[in-house]
Amino acid sequence: MSHQPIIEFYDDGAPIDQAANPRGQAYKTRSTEYKRMLRKEYYDEDNARGAQSLYYILKVKHPDDGAHPRAHPPKRYVAEWLSRQGKAQVYKKKKGKAKSIQSIIVGKPNELIQVDYVYFFRNIAASVIVADDEDLSDAQKKELKEQDKDFAKFFGKGKVQYRGAITAIDCLTRYAYVVPIAGPVNSASAKVAMERIIKDAEKRYDRRVERIQTDKGSEFMLDFRKYLKQKRAQHPEHYAHVFGFEGRSHSQAIVERFNGTFRRMMTAVLGKALITPEWLDKYKKVLKNYNDTPHTTLSSQYRSRQITGGAGTQADPYTFDKDEQPKKLIAPSDVGADPDGDPSWKEVRQNIVDHSIKSDTAQDPVYGVGDYVRIRIFKPGKDTPSFTFKKGPLWEMRKADGCEFTYIRERDR
């Protein structure tokens, strides 16, 4: 069914010719309701999402597959309305490059949880110091104390101590967790946050966490790592702590993308107040909105029917090679502990595979023992990388063709 041009039913300033467009009055009436829905969701519910997410949210809340105008606004209407909102113009996500890496495919909730630390506002000083970094000098420790004093003086006491949070996301269901961190981040506070995340995840899906993936930040060493080793000693098949590939931030892609989305949502809701402790009062509602929003990767792809014959008349109707399968919208919170529920774990996994890049090779380490690997390092103030690598007790440096290489040995893997 062909639609009327979108401008004809949302532009309140232009008169609608009822003779030329008998459905115009219905569209105009519905347009006012569409705007009310969008304002309520975007502003009143603090759900500052993009056009596609807003469209999915309203489609779920106002289901209607009948003739136009429907109960929920069309996708083009949502995009056009959003483009006129000042908040959306200011905090619009920069268009990125198409992904070129394979998706992370798992089959069960709690099989792999990615964890990271995200700042919501930083210290008054430009530097960011991890409190229990092994290489922390006396001067840095002194600077850390001065930063705390500056913060207390500038913001006062109370919730000012909450400057960031440990974030985590389930790699199958995309269900996210956020735990605010009081004071400077360190391995002890990260361990406490991880305890809470594991408790919430196991309560939600009624199964133990198998693997936890982090980067090599200092907050994920010492007490954090010791805690997970103790858990794994009690349950050898669970609680493995693994690191993403060093130098490849996209190995933590799922949690990194969540951090960006969550921070944009918080920024759109709070504006300049994001750099104040006010974020602590809003993050739970924003997190719930994220988990309740249909996720493109989890949702099934729309499959239309292919005409194989027929004239399309009553006497000779069209014939199709398969049935029409409408798009099924799935939010992270829709996936439960029952493997055969609606949606099932198998269905969600298949949807992720359908959206992923197809390749003959798996996303596994491509290097073997005895290989030489060229390491790129970007140094501050330089646009081009140098090919150097920090020497360590487990690495041997080699020179080949004028470039530095590192040699992989069995114990380094």
Query: What is the DSSP pairing of strand 240-243 with strand 211-214?
Result: parallel
CA angle 53, 3, 47 (to 5 degrees): 15
pLDDT of residue 277: 66
Mean pLDDT (whole number) for 297-322 = 67
Place of tokens 């939010």: 331
pLDDT of residue 40: 92
Between residues 108 and 362, the one the model is more confident about:
108
For the stretch 207-238, pLDDT in tens is 999 999 999 888 999 999 999 999 999 999 99
Most confidently predicted of 7-21, 118-132, 235-249, 331-345: 331-345
Q: How confident is the model at residue 281 (pLDDT cuts 50, 70, 90)?
A: confident
Mean pLDDT (whole number) for 268-289 = 80
pLDDT of residue 99: 55
Most confidently predicted of 138-152, 345-359, 392-406: 345-359
- Does domain 100-363 bear CATH number 3.20.20.80? no
Mean pLDDT (whole number) for 30-48 = 90
For the stretch 151-186, pLDDT in tens is 666 555 544 566 789 999 999 999 999 999 877 788
Say yes or no to pLDDT of 379 above 80. no
Q: How confident is the model at residue 104 (pLDDT cuts 50, 70, 90)?
A: confident
Lowest mean pLDDT among 1-5, 56-60, 278-282: 1-5
pLDDT of residue 408: 47
Between residues 396 and 326, the one the model is more confident about:
326
Mean pLDDT (whole number) for 27-36 = 83
pLDDT of residue 371: 58
pLDDT of residue 194: 96
Instruction: List all residues 6 or more positions away from 386 whose beta carbon is below 8 Å from its beta carbon.
Output: 376, 377, 379
Say yes or no to pLDDT of 124 above 70. no
For the chain, give the mean pLDDT.
75
Q: In the chain, where are the structural domains located?
A: 7-90, 100-363, 372-412
Share of the chain above pLDDT 70, in %: 61
Dmax (CA) of the chain: 89
**What is the Cα–Cα distance from 313 to 40, expressed in whole angstroms?**
45
Say yes or no to pLDDT of 20 above 70. no
pLDDT of residue 273: 64
* DSSP class per residue in 202-271: HHHHSS---EEEE-S-GGGSHHHHHHHHHHHHHSTTS-EEEEPPTT-GGGGHHHHHHHHHHHHHHHHHHG
**What is the Cα–Cα distance from 47 to 53, expressed in whole angstroms?**
10
Q: How confident is the model at residue 398 (pLDDT cuts 50, 70, 90)?
A: very low
Say yes or no to pLDDT of 400 above 50. no
> Is the separation of the CB atoms in 355 and 297 below 8 Å?
yes
Most confidently predicted of 11-15, 56-60, 179-183, 402-406: 56-60
For residues 358-389, one letter each, b for 16 or more C-beta atoms within 10 angstroms of the residue's C-beta and e for the rest, the string is eeeeeeeeeeeeeeeeebeeeeeeeeeeeeeb
> Is the separation of the CB atoms in 244 and 214 below 8 Å?
yes
